[in-house]
Structure 1
C-alpha cells in the first residue's frame, strides 16, 4: 500500500484566551484534539508565543501535557517553536517529560525566528538577545540531544556552559525526540536544516520554491555527511475549502486578516490554499510532486471540523504520492 501524505492540524488557543474573559476555558481544545484523532489525522500542533497580549496563547508545553492525556495515538507538536526563549536544560527536561507522558508522540518544529518587531519584543522580554538567535538555537539543539541521550553532559559553548549535567527522565523516543527546523529563503537556514534537523518545515508559496528548497537541503546534507537523514519535508499552510471556490477564497483571506490583524496585501509570507476541494488537491499535488511528505494545516475558517473532514475525505484521496 502506498504511503499517504501525512496531515496535521494547528489547534488554536488564541481565541480561547482572548474571548474567554476572566475565566478562559480549554474544553473546546480538548474536544478538537479528540476529534482530530478520531478522524485519523496524523498530528496536532500548537503555536508558541509567551508575552504578546495581542497574540496571547496558552503555554504550549503545559497545554501539550494536557493534550497527551486526552489522546492516545496522534502525534503532538509545536510549530513554529522558539527554543531560544527558554534555557536549554530546563527545556530538555520539560520536553523529555512530555515525551514520556505522551508515550513517545512528541515532535518539535523549531524556528530561528524572524526579525519582525513583535518577535523582537518577545525575545527582549525573555532575556534572549535576538542578534544571537541563530547561534543559540544551534547550540540549544546540541544540548537538548546531549541531555536526552547521555547520563551527564559537559558542554563548553559560546552561549551555554554545563559541567556534568544530567536529566531524568530521558525521552521514550530513540535516539531522541524528532526536531524539525524551518527554512524558507536563506541559505543559512537550509544549511542549519541539513546539519541538525530530522525534518524540514517551510512556508514557501509555490511548489517550485519548495522543490528548490528541498534540493538545497539535500545538497548541504550530503556535504555534511547526513544524506538521507532528513526524511520529512513539511509545508505549513492555511486552508479553506468549499464547493464554491470564490466563497472559500473570500472567507479564507477574511479569516487570515482577522487572525493576524493585517490586510491580505501584508500577508504574502503566508501560504493560503483556498478553493474547492478539487482545486486545493491540485495545488497540494504540485507540492507532493516537489517532494512534500507532510502538511501542517492552519484552518482558516470558523468551522474547523468541516474543513478537517474535507481535507481528509475530499482532498487526500485525490493525491498521488
Structure 2
C-alpha cells in the first residue's frame, strides 16, 4: 500500500559540483539560493557527496547554510557515503537537525562500484569491499546514540567499537533524522524495508521503480512494520525547455561536463528526461503512479554555473510545479 497522492513532495538538488569547476562566488550564495528555492514553492533541498571522485561542496556544510535562511523546506543528503567515523557522523547530523529545527533527512548509500569511487574510499583509509558492512554498523551506532539522548552507549561490531560514549546535542527529531537508502540491489531493497525510513533510488524507468517499491514493501511487512514505515522517494534528473531537442542539448552538455560520460551511458544508471513541461510532467506522473511520494529533482543546466542553475530552478518552478501539483 502507498501513501495518498496528496502527500506528494517535490525537492531540488543544490548544484554542488558547480562550485568546484571554477573559483566563483557560488558558495557564498548558498543561503540566498536556498531561500529562493523555498520562495519558489519547492518542498525540499538536497545536496550530494563526493569529495574526490566527482568533487563538490560538502553536503552537510551546504545544508547548514540552507538551514539558516529557510523555515519550511526539508533538508536532505542525496547521498552521504560511509566515509566518516560513526560518532562523528552522528554528531554532525544531530547538530544539523537542531540547526534546522528538525527538518533533516539523512539519505545514505554505499557508493557505486567504479574505479574513481574505489579510489575515493581508499583515500579515506576504507577498503571498498567493507563499505556495506561499515554503513550498516554506522547506521546502528547513529541510531543508538540518538535514542540514548545523552546517556552512555556501548557497541561491539566488526568494524567499530564504542564504550560508554555519550553524545550531545540531542537531535531535534525524536530518535534522530529519518534515514533513507538510495540503492536498488536485492539485498539493499530487503534491508531498506526492514530498517530504513525511506527509499530514494535513481530508477531508470517507472516500471523498475514500481518493482523495487513492491520489494521494499514486502520486506517491510515481513518485518512487522506498518505500511507507511518507508517513504517512497525517487531521485531523477529533468530538463524543462521549449522542445525535446533543446532539452536534450542541455542534458548532453551537462552530463558531459559533470561526469565526462555520454548521455546514453548515464541513462543506463539514472532516470533522466528532457522536454517540455508537459512531457516531463507526464513522465514524472508515471513515477507518481508507481508509488513515488517525494520527487528529488536534479536540474541540469547547459553550463555549470550559478546563473544557469537559477534559470533552470525558476523555469521548473513556473512551468513544471503547477502540473505536478495538479497530478497530486
| TM superposition score category, shorter chain reference | over 0.9
Matched residues in 1 for 2:34 and 2:144: separation?
A: 31
Q: CA deviation at 1:269?
A: 0.9
Q: Which residue of 2 aligns with 1:291?
A: 291
Matched residues in 2 for 1:142 and 1:81: separation?
A: 15
Q: Which residue of 2 aligns with 1:247?
A: 246
Contact 1:5 1:316 in 2 (8 A): no
Matched residues in 2 for 1:281 and 1:262: separation?
A: 26
Matched, 1:74 2:73: yes
Kindly provide the CA deviation profile for residues 260-308 of structure 1, in whole angstroms up to 9, marking residues without a partner as x. 1111232121221210111111101111110010111111114333433
Kindly provide the CA deviation profile for residues 192-226 of structure 1, in whole angstroms up to 9, marking residues without a partner as x. 21122100001111111111000000111111222
Instruction: Determine helix, strand or coil for the equivalent of 1:3.
Output: helix
Structure 1 outlier segments of 4+, above 6 Å: none
Q: Which residue of 2 aligns with 1:164?
A: 164
Q: Which residue of 1 aligns with 2:180?
A: 180
Instruction: Determine helix, strand or coil for the equivalent of 2:60.
Output: helix
Instruction: Determine helix, strand or coil for the equivalent of 2:191.
Output: helix
**Normalised TM-score (structure 2):** 0.90
- Superposed CA RMSD in Å reads 1.8
Match of 2:23 among 2, 20, 31: 20
Structure number with the bigger relative contact order (C-alpha 8 A, sep ≥ 6) is: 2
Q: CA deviation at 1:51?
A: 3.1
Q: CA deviation at 1:229?
A: 4.5
Structure 1 residue ranges without an equivalent (≥5)? none
Kindly provide the CA deviation profile for residues 24-69 of structure 1, in whole angstroms up to 9, marking residues without a partner as x. 65133333211001112111111112234xx222222222222221
Q: Which residue of 1 aligns with 2:322?
A: 317
Q: Which residue of 2 aligns with 1:45?
A: 46
Structure 2 residue ranges without an equivalent (≥5)? 303-307
Matched residues in 2 for 1:50 and 1:290: separation?
A: 33
Instruction: Determine helix, strand or coil for the equivalent of 1:291.
Output: coil
Matched, 1:273 2:273: yes
Aligned length: 315
Q: CA deviation at 1:180?
A: 0.4
Q: CA deviation at 1:106?
A: 1.0
Matched residues in 2 for 1:313 and 1:236: separation?
A: 20
Matched, 1:258 2:231: no
Matched residues in 2 for 1:81 and 1:195: separation?
A: 20
Contact 1:218 1:227 in 2 (8 A): no
**Normalised TM-score (structure 1):** 0.92
User: Structure 1 residues 25, 280: CA separation in 2 closer, same or farther (over 3 Å shift)?
Assistant: closer
User: Structure 1 residues 2, 236: CA separation in 2 closer, same or farther (over 3 Å shift)?
Assistant: closer
Kindly provide the CA deviation profile for residues 146-185 of structure 1, in whole angstroms up to 9, marking residues without a partner as x. 100102211111111111111000100123211100122x
